[in-house]
Structure 1
Amino acid sequence: MIKLYDNGVYLIHGTEIVEDVENAGIFVSKEEAAKNTIAYGILKEHNTAPDMKSLRIKFDKLTSHDITFVGIIQTARASGLEKFPVPYVLTNCHNSLCAVGGTINEDDHMFGLTCAKKYGGVYVPPHQAVIHQFAREVLAGGGKMILGSDSHTRYGALGTMAMGEGGPELVKQLLNKTYDINMPGVVGIYLDGEPAKGVGPQDVALAIIGATFKNGYVNNKVMEFVGPGVGKLSADFRIGIDVMTTETTCLSSIWRTDEKIEEFYEIHGRREDYKELNPGETAYYDGMVYVDLSEIKPMIAMPFHPSNVYTIDELNENLSDILHDVEKKALISLDGAVEYSLQDKIVDGKFYVEQGIIAGCAGGGFENICAAADIIKGKNIGADAFTFSVYPASTPIYMELVKNGVVADLLEAGTVVKTAFCGPCFGAGDTPANNAFSIRHTTRNFPNREGSKLQSGQISSVALMDARSIAATAANKGFLTPATSMDVEYKGQKYYFDKNIYKNRVFDSKGVADPSVEIQFGPNIKDWPAMSALPENLVLKVVSEIHDPVTTTDELIPSGETSSYRSNPLGLAEFALSRKDPAYVGRAKEVQAAQKAIEAGKCPLEVLEELKPVVAKVKETYPNVGEGNIGVGSTIFAVKPGDGSAREQAASCQKVLGGWANIANEYATKRYRSNLINWGMLPFLTDADDKELPFKNGDYIFVPDVRRAVEEKADVVKAYVVKDSLEEMDLRLGELTDAEREIILQGCLINYYRATAGK
């Protein structure tokens, strides 16, 4: 059972939830009690601002992987980087296979190694560990804060408040700047009871996501896990829930800690990094999610979102109806680009799937894989279409699974056991066949993410499940089966961490930079193109309209094989919106030609004929608009863009194609809006219903005095749709810090740091 409280609540002694303050004898104000959350204490210790309203956070450590660290370091180098001021770990777990684009993946890896040497960082070679498992094993510490350029940067179960952001926010930390946010709300996640046998962390996580995502209950807030149920969960179980908090769109997470977390640190040879964390005697939370763990059943998140949840029993009992409902939802997600049906998955009244995968930062933990092996031991997956792959999250985990016999049990059953790799999560590994259905203990199941190419008529489906029920399905040869329906003896094997694996293979500068090292560049590694400052006036052409309820970053810039080009800003930009609106790049480039003409001192009207009547109409009302005070660019409209990945390229690709703005009803995540700002794009909001917009794809929008509006901290910006007349509309900028306004004015973060160098 999950209950969401309508209002804020007090938590007394860490165990008693109190709504009725007057009759509970509580004499502490909300403001004072809010200071007693774990989150408040950690944020206060890392805040460099004079108060706790507008925070300026400095993180203890940073981490990135091989589809983000090249762009981050290139941006930081262009902005004056001399050395890494805090520990910065560069892992290589996304393009590990080096399978696409010739040498470019390994070129990125060598770039990372030489930068770790030159600037004083840590380099984790391919196949050693996925980014978040290495962070758990080596970086996390009680009361610390870690910033990562991956959305699933979550180490709250270990007492570390971690956040996933776009690359520019890491650049700020590398340049000794701060992460600036208003004090976030803190929502308590009260765990009670104990999970039933066969229920795993993904089941609990999916239940929480299903209860909180659509209503935005924890959006941009910190989830703080408290209550007696926490103590009933192992460290691995807590980690498995924690990593999935990203899918609620929360800002971060933190858990109370105890002897089980202390044991985790001791196993990894870092007992000194443990810190006991508990809320104060009387703590106030802005909301509370009550979770009765004993009531959680094996769950499945059906395509195409982690919040599209059902119990497996419910699905099996109502197969035809639920599959029909998923098909209807898919019509929205897939824009009708391909025919989509799941009815053929019903075989003899049962649901048949073609693939099972346990992998990555969510599924590849030691306990998950051991439990899966206990379930499938003595059985086999059969010789039909169904396949089963397991990816341990790190080489130390893999080594222990070899030593204790788990790998042997898996292999004998027909499982393929692979090295640490994030590919199945973002579409670069174990891509299903066309029309196939894959069940995965990974983090996401967005459309296009698992390898589908709608423009080529290819579609496959991914559902999220816990490792235990995936193994039960594998033991049943692909027929969907909850783990609770099987009588299994779980051995509960003990984990032993071999520190020599990393000692022998991971490069650790110990924070010592070597300026004499020459960075190794590959032919695909390019600098960021020059970007202009925000002009006085803007002419924007709407070049794409997206009316889905939510637009993911995967749809703004696809994952999968395109990841190989993320070290090449212009090369990657060719893929922007390619699986959502294939004509976007061409339209954006046509408009960009006019801006390039302006920057070259030429007349934009000569390169973009359709601009002539637009400018003529504008000059009827604004005769002074013209040479020297106007910019031309593109914008897109989406109802709620930016759900999912932290990847900055969802914004930067638009920018390098001449994008000046996004227009939205709402931004799905703080990190996407931050990425827009850091790349000098205006994060416009409109209150107009997406079905009744005053503009449409192909229309021009004129924004007069936009630079002055940003300078003068205006919230509402007057704009005009250019038709037979100038049709006025309001656009809002939303809350911006002074630094964010200056970044937009300068045109991007790189320009901002160049302009402020030495100040």
Structure 2
Amino acid sequence: MTKQTRTQPRNVTQKLFGSHLVSGEMKAGQEIGLKIDQTLTQDATGTLVMLELEAMGLDRARTELSAQYVDHNLLQTDSRNPDDHLFLRSACEKFGLWFSPPGSGVSHAVHMERFGKPGKTLLGSDSHTCAAGSMGMLAMGAGGLAVALAICGEPFHLNMPSVMGVKLTGKLPDWVSAKDVILEMLRRHDVKGGAGKVIEYYGPGLKHLSAMDRHVIANMGQEMGHTATVFPADEAVRTFLRQQEREGDFEPLEADAGASYDEYEEIDLGKLEPLIALPSSPGKVVPVREVAGEPIYQAYIGSSANPGLRDFVVPAMMVRGQQVQERVSFDINPTSRQVLENLAGLGYLTDLLGAGARLHQTGCNGCIGMGQAPATDQISLRTVPRNFVGRSGTPEDKVCLCSPETATASALTGVITDPRDLGMDYPAFDDSQAYHVDDRNIRPPARHPELTVVEKGPNISTLPDFGGLPDSLEGPVLLKVGDNISTDEILPAGSEILPYRSNIPKISEFTYIRVDPSYPRRAMDYQDRGSLIVGGDNYGQGSSREHAALAPRYLGVRAVIAKSYSRIHWQNLCNFGVLPLRFEVPEDYDDIEQSDILALDDLSTALETGNAIAAKNQRSGRTYPLTHDLSGRQVRMVLKGGLLNMMRESLAA
């Protein structure tokens, strides 16, 4: 008689990781390698990805599907952005990627509409790629170089996360929506509470959340510093795919009965109220009623964080037959061409325009500082995922994050308003209804890529070559920064800077200018000799843009010493040969002053053997013990000067 082995019940996260594991063990904290089925790139990061593919000699994408979107740099004030759009189109033809041209919409919304599939892995060079976890995918953001390797068929390496299970019960009350769910998570856990974790939602409350509601929650999981957010693929996902005329792509994926989690959380949806994140952190969340009455300048609807049709229809029904307050700029940013066509076809666009709305093209726009900047020192209520200082394009901004309901209610009154106080019936909208689908604008991979000539405008420059890490490093701390420094502060976005995304020498001139305008000039003086940066907790939170690691490396930064790091930026530093070290004694951070000279000796030996690493301060004479979280693979990568050098060496062998 054969003895049967009883299988342990698994949650959705464990099923997704287990079905794609190619190396390592699924033990929290250990490095693993995952097979990547799909990739996503956007124009702010995709131009570097295409240059990296070219440098690695790729002939054709080796994923099941890779898609390139143009959604960030849409302003065409000179030739740089349109030149890069042509470059991306031709590179997609050359390497076999789908191409979504300007005007098609925000990458995360369009990818979910057209390509997302339950049970698949998705790696994107945009931190909000995690939004696709809404439909039972393992979707993660990463630096462009990691995505380029995935397009080449290489596995994606990361440390195995633990899993936080969030049980949802009850049903959202009127005037409370999915944005308030993720704001409640941020209120409880702040911007570091998801570090090293996948957040998986389950429970009876799920049946009341549509796939696009889940997109809102999954998208902003990144603001908690998580690895990914995972939802099951259930009837809500089937309904969404049927709506998109892709029901054949549905595969059920749910947790086994009795599945467990490393950590537990519970939210009674019925007890939530309208919430708002105050300037200038997604984690600074309070009830709307506590700040009601403050005058506002702008109410902004749209972005990857609230991309669904209902996120525009509910505001349209709220303002029907009314006018927004005359002082308020009521900005509408449809997130995909499909959403815009349906708003027009169903008549809701007329309601918005009639109320005084300003209609903008489908894309990221103001969320990334590409237009719609608020007036100086004026409150802007936005349904975007982030409100870091200056990200809007106005240095003295006061951006608050809230739901479409709260933003629209406040537009009508001119002050921050709890939508429950409007005195109107809640305009519920059934977003499971069938609607117009048209994907003719999105171009499939070329049939004959060998005939394609990649078009490079004058703004495209060759990637710089970097040498390996020296055995001894002695250099000044040219910058000391505090906790929660974001990649927007390291290398800002916006209409002035992002057009240089393919020109590393030029874009490096903007490194840390919002923190210290003198930094790029001072760093250039040490470009050949090497310098260091010292940071606090959660260094490099926010956007996945690898420019925030690449530009400092170009300026000569060889090591960063911080209390802790955000996952994606930590990986990007490794990818470009910048050594990310941690203080073994966090209090040593307080002893270091900007301009101190630190000396680190025997680095290669210490990294390869696991010996202790120490930094000696020439001013104080003190020595600080340091540690790191690099795997053996990452040690080799940093010593060789980055992942691209390691890949070139491997391909040449």
Whether TM-score is above 0.5 comes out as: yes
Q: 1:435/1:280 Cα in 2 relative to 1: closer, same or farther (>3 Å)?
A: same
Structure 1 residue 52 and structure 2 residue 30: aligned?
no
Cα drift, residue 694 of structure 1: 4.0
Note the C-alpha offset of 1:277: 2.0
Q: 267, 279, 284: which is aligned to 1:303? A: 279
SS of residue paired to 2:524:
helix
1:96 and 2:74 are equivalent in the alignment? yes
Residue aligning to 2:531: 634
1:62 partner SS: strand
Label 1:546 to 1:315 Cα distance change in 2 as closer, same or farther (>3 A): same
Deviation at 1:493, TM superposition (A): 5.1
For 1:709, give the aligned amino acid. A
Give the aligned partner of residue 92 of structure 2.
Answer: 116
* Distance (whole Å) between structure 1 residues aligned to residue 189 and residue 493 of structure 2: 26
1:690 and 1:375 mapped to 2: Cα distance?
52
Displacement after TM superposition at 1:80 (Å): 2.6
One-letter identity of the residue aligned with 1:736? L
Q: State the Cα deviation string for residues 112-148 of structure 1 (Å, max 9, x = none).
A: 1001111111111111110101110012111111011
Note closer, same or farther for the CA distance 1:497–1:118 as it changes in structure 2 (3 Å cut).
farther
Instruction: Please tell me the residue identity of whatever aligns with 2:144.
Output: G
Deviation at 1:723, TM superposition (A): 3.7
2:257 is matched with 281
Deviation at 1:728, TM superposition (A): 2.5
Cα distance, 1:745–1:666 mapped onto 2, change above 3 Å: same
Confirm whether residue 581 of structure 1 aligns to residue 540 of structure 2.
Answer: no
Give the one of 399, 405, 428 matched to 2:370.
428
The partner residue of 1:538 within 449, 473, 493 is 473
Q: What are the within-5 Å matches in structure 2 for residues 69-148 of structure 1?
A: 69-86=46-63, 87-99=65-77, 102-148=78-124
Supply the AA of the counterpart residue of 1:363: N
Tell me the CA shift for residue 76 of structure 1.
2.5
Q: Which residue of 1 aligns with 2:458?
A: 523
Which whole-Å CA distance do the structure 1 matches of 2:50 and 2:270 have between them?
A: 46
Matched, 1:720 2:619: no
- Is the Cα–Cα contact under 8 Å of residues 24 and 33 in structure 2 kept in the other structure? no
Q: Matched residues in 1 for 2:24 and 2:485: separation?
A: 37
Q: Which residue of 1 aligns with 2:315?
A: 372
Q: Which residue of 2 aligns with 1:560?
A: 494
Equivalent-residue separation in structure 2 for 1:465 and 1:51 (angstroms): 40
**Partner Cα distance (1:539, 1:492) in 2:** 62
Structure 2 residue identity aligned to 1:84: A
Is 1:312–2:288 an aligned residue pair? Answer: yes
Contact 1:360 1:420 in 2 (8 A): no
Query: Is contact 1:119-1:515 (8 Å) kept?
Result: no
Structure 2 partner of 1:332: none
In the aligned structure 2, how far is the partner of 1:689 from the partner of 1:758? Answer: 42
Q: CA deviation at 1:700?
A: 1.5
SS at match of 1:509: coil
3-state secondary structure, aligned to 2:376: coil
- The Cα shift of 1:362 comes to 1.4
- CA shift in 2, pair 1:689/1:230, >3 Å: same
Question: Amino acid of the residue matched to residue 90 of structure 1?
Answer: Q
Name the CA distance, whole Å, in 2 between partners of 1:139 and 1:499.
13
Q: Contact (CA 8 Å) 2:536, 2:589: kept in 1 or not?
A: no
1:482 is displaced (CA, Å) by 1.7
CA distance in 2, matches of 1:740, 1:308: 35
* Greater Cα shift, 288-297 or 478-487: 478-487
Distance 1:188 1:59 in 2: 24
Report the counterpart of residue 15 of structure 2 in structure 1: 41
The 5 A counterparts of 1:382-397 are 382-383=325-326, 385-397=327-339
Percentage of identical aligned residues? 28
* Structure 1 residues 445 and 32, CA gap change in structure 2 (3 angstroms): farther
Q: Distance in 2 between matches of 1:728 and 1:289?
A: 41
C-alpha distance in structure 1 between counterparts of 2:639 and 2:17, whole Å: 29
Correspondence 1:433-582 to 2 at 5 A? 433-453=375-395, 459-476=396-413, 478-486=414-422, 487-490=424-427, 492=429, 495-500=433-438, 502-503=439-440, 505-509=441-445, 512=447, 514-547=449-482, 549-561=483-495, 562-582=497-517
Give the partner amino acid of 2:315.
A
1:359 aligns with 2:359: no
1:750 aligns with 2:644: yes
Aligned residues: 640
Cα shift at 1:556: 0.6
Take 2:170 and 2:177, find their aligned partners in 1: how far apart are those partners? 14
The answer to whether structure 1 residue 701 and structure 2 residue 622 are counterparts is no
Q: Which amino acid aligns with 1:94?
A: H
CA distance in 2, matches of 1:693, 1:161: 39
Q: Show CA shifts across 1:605-639 (max 9, x none).
A: xxxxxxxxxxxxxxxxxxxxxxxxxxx30111110
Deviation at 1:195, TM superposition (A): 0.5
* TM-score, reference length from structure 1: 0.82
Gaps of 5+ in 2: none
1:337 matched residue in structure 2: none
- Write the distance in 1 (CA, Å) between the matches of 2:436 and 2:555: 48
| Counterparts of 1:58 and 1:156, CA distance in 2 | 16
Secondary structure at 2:623's aligned position in 1?
strand
**Distance in 1 between the 2:487 and 2:617 partners?**
27
Equivalent of residue 272 in structure 1, options 244, 248, 254:
248
Structure 2: distance between partners of 1:702 and 1:186: 39
* Shift in CA distance, 209/50, structure 1 to aligned 2, threshold 3 Å: closer
Q: Could you say what secondary structure the match of 1:229 adopts?
A: helix
Question: How many angstroms does 1:752 deviate by?
Answer: 1.0
After TM superposition, the score normalised by the length of structure 2 is: 0.95
Q: Take 1:509 and 1:172, find their aligned partners in 2: how far apart are those partners? A: 19
Match of 2:579?
682
Measure how far apart 1:213 and its partner are. 2.0
Cα deviation 1:172-216 (Å, max 9, x = unaligned): 2123221112321011111110011111111111111111125x4
